Amino acid sequence: MASWVGMRATATPSQVDAVARAIRSTPIIDNHAHPLLKPDALCKHPLLAITTEATGDAIHSATTSLPHLRAVRQLAARLNCGFTWESVVAAIEEKRLGSLDDWTAECLSGIETILVDDGLDDEEDVHPFSWHSDYTRSECKRIVRIEKVAADIIRELGSTCDTSTRDEAALVNLFGDFIREFDNRIVAAMNDSDVVGFKSVICYRTGLDIARTHEGSAIQGAFVKIMRDFALAGFQRLQEKSLNDFVVLRAALLITRQRPAKPIQFHTGLGDNDLSLAKASPSHLQEFIRACPTLPIVLLHSGYPFTREAGYLASVYENVYLDIGEVFPCVSQDGQERILREVLELCPWSKILWSTDGHWFAETYLLAIMQMREVFETVLCDYVRKGHIGWRAAIDLVRDVLFKNSNKLYRLGLEFSELEGDASVPLGSYLSDTEILHAFLKNQSTPDFVRICWNDFTASHRMRMIPFRKFMSLLNEGKPTDISITRAVFGLIQNDHLIPSTAPVGEYRIHPDFSSLKKGPIDGHISMQGEFREPSGAPVALCPRTTLQRAVELGAANGLSFLLGFEIEFLLLERVERKPGAVANRYTTLTTDGHAWSVSRYFADPKVATLLRDMVATLEDMGIFVDQVHAESATGQFELVLPPYPPVEAVDTLLHTRDVMSALATAAGFRLTLHPKPFAHACGTASHMHMSITNSASSDNEPINKPDVYLPFYAGILKHLRAIVAFTYSNPASFDRMSDGTWSGGRWVTWGTQNKETALRKIEGSHWELKCMDGLANPFFAAAAVLFAGIRGVLEGQEMTWGDCEMDPSKLTANDRKELGVTQMLPASVEEALAALKEDTQLVADMGPELVERYVAIKEYELGFLGQMGEEERKEWLMERY
């Protein structure tokens, strides 16, 4: 252990937390953006453009890009809609129809001021720059586009003069008029208090290789040609290199006569297909920079993909600054993190500015800000933890890049004040993986293995083990600790048979979540749950744990958080030697005297009593504090009750606890099974899920016991319960347990206060219990489906049309059922449950169409496989695995 103890970061968790708070609370001076479209022009441009520079037919391919997929996830969480592009578009339309002003204000929240380049085409379709001030804390300012000034003059001259009949000399004289008017307008802009800078898009026109000199005749000739062509085909924009270079150089000369000079921004790097990428590198500007040493020059858009070149120029020339905009949101998250790191490799942060490059749609501003803050937290907090930069310096960096550098460069004269509202993050949430592991192993012996675990589509708990020495060497060397896993992982049934629609081709990466660290489940092992990602780092749509996290995020976006607690009902069996040729009878029930629910006599058996004691003590040593243990009804059946946790932690804890209990039972000579109905005439075995709703803004999980919140939540669950059952009752054996009059939750879609015969039992306030779930369910999927359905109920104001059922619903009369709204029965088979799931379009959208399609395919294949077995063989086959 001595080889890694010394790797502790120099910053404390609270200091790293302070950096994260600064990132979230610093107002933004958006040093480069464009106007928003007027309402009647919104339909003229494709919303797909929010994450891509592609146009025309090429834009449709954006839907398969990482930036687009990330934007869908983020917008869906913000809009409380399904995680599909179609759902996002519909939700945005609803926002616009509801209150476009409110939605625009939400998208531009956190912006101090915008420096608006209003030189885009279709200026009649967009709002003036000053209009945007209604949505920012300070008045917006204007950036004047040099080429547009020149183009406007040419159009005016061409429309007022008969250029087709002029001779050469007359057109040359007209060139003199052009220069005089150009000078006048540039000087007027220099003296305009609303104008804080200029911009050139010469990158789009003829490239950044601006020649310092051109023959006068060539410049005049280019102008004369434009004026002659104007009469024939009209004039679109400057495209002649000599004249383009002349216009930019002329403007630069005029601007530098003012002290201090207003900056010129240059488009560099990525853009639409009008530009020549070979001439878009800011390195082409080096001669121009040298020629204008007193002119502040801002290189826009990170220079991407020439980021390092841009950072170099800003580092070696006093008058050069680097804007790191537009890559948010047009580049993937990994790409954005890499870009920020590349900029900081060499470029002083006093030379870095930030912008949204927002344009047309308010959503471009929203995505840019969300993604920037996320990436800044990832990169800068990592630097602080590693000691690359002090935490106070990191806070200075954030405030300089987002506010102070632009404020100084553009002479805005604004006062810095943090954003209002809760910008906090949980204390210690930015501990490094090494720090977490070090703290976890303090005062413990060095483990032998690290387990990285996952729960697949058949609820099989799987894992990979890494020798601890190897795992620590990866951490010490700063290498990734994720593991390659075949993409077939989510196409397997319990015995590794692969469904026909998948193939063992390609890989995922499973990333250990260090926050889920636990000792065990056996001595010498430590365990973590993993999350699946693509090799690019993008989340995997099929990952069960990620699906539950999405549900939690949707709740949090609407002020809702949750606590879940699980009851683990389990059966202890004795192993017997299987007779030759037999396919069953491997396990038998315990020998007992009068086993029954909550009886005490069974705990006189020293072997069982010792096992149950060891379960509780071992879990307590792992930080899992059991609430209760008692006997259940069937022979050898017991229940262990876990405390409540936030949803993902609750499921992590459930899965780890099961592993611990199973390992201890095996060591004691028993077989522990979660089989829902091993014996036809005995009580079934469930995995009841308790839920309560809490306030996401509360630090102490304060419950929300308001009926106007929790009743719509549970009404939403009841509305989707038939589809939810596809995840909670996932095996034919599950439906063997479903019956009336057995305290199992019954067969009806309804609820009742403290009624154990209803599928949903109200306990107190927002604390309710879902009874129709067993140990063969993937608990990530089950919990996600329940939360998605409940959250939808809250968002849609779902009415609780079901009355409080005070008796066994199977004994209700037809009239009673009508009065209580008990009109549906739960599915009676896996097939019926899967059909109900496929028909529930809202739940499919929330869980993810790809996930549901795969889940249904696996379950159908599994049904075919199990159907080939006899009843006893199938029972023992399941007991061996659950």
Residue 4 has pLDDT above 50, yes or no: no
pLDDT score recorded for residue 660: 94
What local confidence, expressed as pLDDT, does residue 697 receive? 53
269 has pLDDT over 50: yes
pLDDT band for position 434 (cuts 50, 70, 90): confident
pLDDT, averaged across the chain: 87
Full DSSP string of 231-297: HHH-------HHHHHHHHHHHHHHHHTSSSPPPEEE--S---TTS-GGG-SGGGGHHHHHH-TTS-E
Q: What per-residue confidence (pLDDT) applies to 779? A: 96
Ranges for all domains in the chain classified under CATH 3.30.590.10? 548-577+590-881
> What is the mean pLDDT of the segment spanning 525-535?
91
The length of the chain in residues reads: 882
Instruction: Give the pLDDT mean for 484-499.
Output: 90
Residues of the chain above pLDDT 90, percent? 49
Average pLDDT of span 637-661: 92
- Fill in the amino acid letter for 329: P
Sequence-ordered alpha helix ranges (H) in 115-214: 146-160, 168-190, 202-205
**Can you say how many angstroms the Cα of residue 680 is from the centroid of all Cα atoms in its chain?**
45
pLDDT at residue 590 is higher than 60: yes
Residues of the chain with CATH 3.20.20.140: 15-409
Architecture per CATH, 15-409: Alpha-Beta Barrel (3.20)
Q: Cα angle at 411 between 409 and 416, to 5 degrees? A: 90
Strand partners, 768: 691, 762
With a CB cutoff of 8 Å and minimum separation 6, the contacts of 233 are none
Question: Mean pLDDT: which of 129-143, 214-228, 477-491, 696-710 is highest?
Answer: 129-143
- End-to-end CA separation in angstroms for the chain: 36
Local structure of 700: helix, strand or coil: coil
Residue 382 CB burial class (10 angstroms; 0-12, 13-18, ≥19): middle
Query: What is the model's pLDDT at position 48?
Result: 87
What DSSP character marks residue 360? B
- For 468, the 3-state DSSP assignment is helix
pLDDT value of residue 424: 40
Q: Which CATH architecture has domain 433-540?
A: Roll (3.10)
Which of 233-237, 680-684, 869-873 is predicted least confidently? Answer: 233-237
**Residue 162: predicted pLDDT:** 62
Helix/strand number for the chain, H first, E second: 30, 23
Q: In the structure, what pLDDT confidence band is assigned to residue 565 with cuts at 50, 70 and 90?
A: very high
Residues of the chain with CATH 3.10.20.70: 433-540
Beta bridge partners of 566: 689
pLDDT value at position 800? 93
371-421 residue pLDDT tens: 999 999 999 998 888 878 888 889 999 999 999 999 999 999 999 888 875
Please tell me what DSSP assigns to residue 47: G
Kindly tell me if the per-residue pLDDT of 7 is higher than 50: no
Question: How large is the average pLDDT for residues 819-839?
Answer: 92
Select 548-577+590-881's CATH number: 3.30.590.10, 3.40.50.1460, 3.40.50.720, 3.40.50.150.
3.30.590.10
pTM, 2 dp: 0.61
Helix, strand or coil, per DSSP, at residue 726: helix
Q: Which of 499-503, 523-527, 569-573, 699-703 has the highest mean pLDDT?
A: 523-527
- Indicate if the pLDDT at residue 637 is higher than 50: yes
Averaged pLDDT, 816-829? 90
Contact (Cβ atoms closer than 8 angstroms) between residue 519 and residue 526? yes
514, two tokens: 């260090």
814: part of which helix (H) or strand (E)?
A: helix 814-820
Which of 305-314, 463-472, 594-603, 807-816 has the weakest average pLDDT?
Answer: 594-603
Res 231: pLDDT: 57
Mean pLDDT of 267-272: 87
Cβ-contact 354, 372 below 8 angstroms:
yes
Our CA dihedral for 371, 372, 373, 378, rounded to 10 degrees, sits at 90
Amino acid sitting at position 42: L
**pLDDT tens digit sequence for 289-335:** 999 999 999 999 999 999 999 999 999 999 999 999 989 999 999 99
